[in-house]
Structure 1
Amino acid sequence: MRPSLYAPLSLLACTALALSACKPGDKELAQRAQDAAVSANAAAGAAAAKTATPPAAATVPAGDDNLNAVLWMQRSEEYRAVAEQTYRAAADKLDAALKQPNWDALVPEERGNAATGLKPAVVLDVDETVLDNSPYQARLLRDGKEYDELSWDQWVAEKKATAIPGVVDFAKAANARGITLVYISNRAVHLKDATLANLRSVGLPVADDSVFLGLGTVVQGCEQNGSEKNCRRQLAGQKYRVLMQFGDQLGDFVQVTANTGQARGALLQQYHDWFGERWWMLPNPSYGGWEPAQFNNDYAQPWQQRHDAKRAALEVAR
């Protein structure tokens, strides 16, 4: 409630009247009363002005951009249901994929050799596809920080990531059919041992160390652009007929040559029919290529500038 300006003004008026009517011996007391009234009026005016000034907008910690996303992945039954139904639906198609000799989940541009006669495999991304790293994201939220390689490497070394719902049952079904699981990840190659140990600890089949193709894997005759996985998919295709691919980003399935909304939309349209058949997408609202596409892929910008660009990208149906 705003403080009233009227009570001090009334007090001042009454005091003035009292001053004019008082005896000469009482003038000192009356003057003190008038001075007190003036001070009260000034204080009330200052309080009113302070109340009328809107408070400064609270600064949102960088990590809080991710609060609902991480909480949804950790606490919602809806997330679990989506992940489980994805892997269950994929498992139902394994037999059909095995029986069709021409069934292949690599795009033609990444299939450098005939797939017929090769051993069957499925290709899986690791983070947020088979392993849940939401505790790492939760730590960033708690500490008001953003992703950095040092803290990420420390998290991977802990080997505490749990399995995405549904993936272990799918992996066991594939393994029972003689299908090799190949893990193509943007975890750096120096994290291979910790990653394979983590995969094994949650019950995922790991045939041998060669099934992990991390960031930095050298593929002869193929030049990799940044963290794109096209070269590593080609490498997997040299040895296996890839029945299915699993990921949480478009780049887990096909090369994203231009990370813009328009280019990403065109890729989705081009390979629309592959999803739910050869390609299986897991939900990840926490991070991914879709995010930097909103701020011109420039992580060098200050957090607030990136945040503002994402807000500007919101559709409000005007």
Structure 2
Amino acid sequence: MQIRALPLTVLACALALAACKPQPGRPADATAPADGKPAPARSAADARPATAVAADDNLNAVLWMQRSVEYRASTETIYRAAADKLDIALKQPNWDALVPEERGNSAKGLKPAVVMDVDETVLDNSPYQARLVRDGKEYDEVTWDAWVAEKKAKPLPGVVDFAKAAQAKGITLLYLSNRAVHLKEATLANLRSAGLPVADDSVFLGLGTVVEGCEQNGSEKNCRRLLAGKQYRVLMQFGDQLGDFVQVVANTPEGRDALLSQYHDWFGERWWMLPNPSYGSWEAMTFNNDFSQPRDTRRQAKRAALDVAP
């Protein structure tokens, strides 16, 4: 999801420099041959001093999402398992993936649908995150809007097969995203080019969608889920953040734990969580959801939240 926790912060430069210190007893040139023969001639490029690059907390997260087979296997596993549940969900008239507080009417007789977050649930924005790592930047609306306008995000592994299976069963895909409503056209174009079914423009419920009688709290999605429930029986929800499934009233460890405990049995049945180690409300929770703090201050709060072995 977007309009979300900004990308993870930059590591202190001192750590990067410390990692480059020669260790006691270690030769200065670790590439020198151990057999005593002369070392190969070094090119002019080798002789140039290395440019110091500040370490970034998000490097491993983005690298894992882009390069590991484990990430691809995870998303494919989730979507394949969800597809296997579609027939069960369709056949049970009381099956509903909306919590009672977010369903304002009976679901009986309504058309079936699945609600899907977009970013890091359907579309992979890791190239944008990689730019931020490369450039030492953090998320901002200008660079984000520019990335969305490029319409280059690829589908997550497994999602297209799931979406086509759902469509073949007469299930509508609803894209309930925290991409702002002014990004609707670019987002729908990107979804279509990625092979995702788009029934019509109404299936995009972006941030800023007006829901009569419901006041939206920040980027929470409860009002838009309520709107979806007026027209559809929601069989499943997909997301990469807890707030993609239910309203998070208190983004604190206690508040989040309570929601997970309350709806524990819904995951893997009605709710399907995709892995996203790159950003999210879980990060903001560690520094009291205050992005106005300096980057280093937020990073110190994250380090303090670690459970360190004695």
The offset of 1:57, in angstroms, is 2.2
Measured in 1, the distance between the counterparts of 2:143 and 2:215 equals: 29
Say which SS state the counterpart of residue 257 (structure 2) adopts: helix
Question: In the alignment, which residue of structure 2 is the partner of 1:49?
Answer: none
How many residue pairs match? The answer is 263
For residues 159-198 of structure 1, the aligned pairs below 5 Å read 159-198=151-190
Q: Does 1:303 align with 2:298?
A: no
Are 1:245 and 2:237 counterparts?
yes
Q: TM-score, normalised by structure 2?
A: 0.83
1:75 aligns to 2:32 (yes or no): no
* Conserved? CA contact 2:16–2:55, under 8 Å: no
Query: Retained in 2: the 8 A contact 1:104–1:244?
Result: yes
How far apart are residue 65 of structure 1 and its match?
A: 1.2
Q: How has the CA–CA distance of structure 1 residues 221 and 124 changed in structure 2, closer, same or farther, with 3 Å as cutoff?
A: same
Tell me, yes or no, if the aligned pair for 2:178 and 2:219 is still in contact at 8 Å: yes
Match of 2:115, as an amino acid?
V
Deviations 1:271-315 (A, max 9, x none): 000000000000000001100100000000000000000001010
Say whether residues 1:93 and 2:85 are aligned partners. Answer: yes
Matches within 5 A, 1:40-79: 57-58=14-15, 64-79=56-71
2:226 to 223, 234, 237: 234
CA distance in 1, matches of 2:130, 2:220: 26
Specify which structure has the higher proportion of helix. Answer: 1
Render the CA deviation track for 1:152-199: whole Å, top value 9, x for unaligned. Answer: 000000000000010000000000000000000000000000000000
Residues 126 and 185, structure 1, Cα contact 8 Å, conserved in 2 = yes
TM-score (norm 1): 0.81
Inter-partner Cα distance in structure 2 for 1:280 and 1:62: 36
Taking the aligned partners of 2:108 and 2:176, their CA distance within structure 1 comes to: 22
What letter matches 1:99 in structure 2?
Answer: K
Deviation at 1:317, TM superposition (A): 2.9
Who is 1:16 aligned against?
A: none
- Pair 1:140–1:103, CA change in 2 (3 A): same
- Aligned-partner residue type, residue 239 of structure 1: Q
3-state SS of 1:93 partner: helix
Larger Rg: 1
Contact 1:295 1:309 in 2 (8 A): yes
**2:209 equivalent in structure 1:** 217
Give the whole-Å Cα distance in 1 for the aligned partners of 2:285 and 2:105: 33
Structure 1 consecutive aligned stretches of length 4 or more whose deviation exceeds 6 Å: 59-63
Contact 1:63–1:146, Cα closer than 8 Å, also in 2: no
Uncovered stretches (5+) of structure 2, i.e. residues with no partner:
1-12, 18-52
Q: Deviation at 1:63? A: 7.4
Structure 1: runs of 5 or more not aligned = 1-55
Q: Name the % identity.
A: 81
The letter for the 1-side match of 2:97 is A
